[in-house]
Structure 1
Amino acid sequence: MTRHPVSRIVQLVIGVLLIIGAGVIGPLPGPGGIFLFAGGLILILRNSRWARLRFARAKRRWPRIGSLLDRTMRRRSALRRHARDKQRSRELADAPSAN
């Protein structure tokens, strides 16, 4: 589904502002900065092809952190991958041993 270019730009600007706000609110007590950063990251990743490519490269470089971020952001691809891995582990557990 394509979005109107103005809508994409507005969401990108809001995402950048949320990430900047996370840096400002981060030192204050409480987890507020984490939620602002995650919301900004989600908005940027949904609206910027360049950011998605950079994010994919970072996930390949650091797979443990990438999978954690995917699950945290509830990305559909991560949910599918998690379900597929769970199914494979069940199939391996149910398979008879070769001995």
Structure 2
Amino acid sequence: MPSVRALRASDDFARELVARMVRVGLASLGLLIVLAGIAVAPLPGPGGLPVIVVGLMLVLRNSFKARRTFVRFQHAHPKMIFPIRRLLRREPEILLVAWQQALRIERLIVPRKLRFAVRTRKRFRRARVS
């Protein structure tokens, strides 16, 4: 008959093995969700970004290597990763992130005289101050 110590050790090993399997499963599921978000991204609307963020949340919470890589990438490219980090918070600022990204895209694509979002923001700011 096995001793109590041996039973506890095998119990701990089984728990650790199950925890690792769950972590690997959730990280894999997150990766599949990210890939699905990338596939949906070209369609009209913001459908791809929220799906990618949910998948990224699963991957980053369950994979130490992915978390380390994400932190390195964040240090290398802080302006690119900042909106994603804001969406990964417990209470994400979805509208503010979407607005900032719209302003960035507008600045990249639209000539200065035709920028609608910047004029709208300035108009609302003046109305609020007055």
TM-score by length of 2: 0.51
Q: CA deviation at 1:66?
A: 2.9
| 2:48 aligned with 1:33 | yes
Gaps of 5+ in 1: 76-99
Distance, in Å, in 1 between the alignment partners of 2:76 and 2:25 is 30
Contact 2:30 2:57 in 1 (8 A): yes
Secondary structure, aligned partner of 1:4: helix
Choose 1 or 2 for highest CA Rg: 2
Amino acid of the structure 2 residue aligned with 1:13 = S
TM-score by length of 1: 0.65
> After the TM superposition, which residues 1-99 of structure 1 pair with which residues of structure 2 at under 5 Å, given as runs?
4-74=19-89
Amino acid of the structure 2 residue aligned with 1:65 = M
Secondary structure, aligned partner of 1:28: coil
Q: What is the Cα-based RMSD across aligned positions, in Å?
A: 2.2
Q: Which residue of 1 aligns with 2:109?
A: none
Instruction: Check 1:53–1:18 CA distance in 2 against 1; reply closer, same or farther (3 A cut).
Output: same
Contact 2:27 2:62 in 1 (8 A): yes
Gaps of 5+ in 2: 1-15, 91-130
- After superposition, the C-alpha distances for 1:9-31 in whole angstroms (9 at most, x for unaligned) are 12111111101101221121221
Between Structure 1 and Structure 2, how many residues are aligned? 75
Contact 2:60 2:67 in 1 (8 A): yes
Distance, in Å, in 2 between the alignment partners of 1:69 and 1:15 is 15
Amino acid of the structure 2 residue aligned with 1:19 = V
Distance, in Å, in 1 between the alignment partners of 2:51 and 2:84 is 14
Distance, in Å, in 2 between the alignment partners of 1:46 and 1:34 is 18
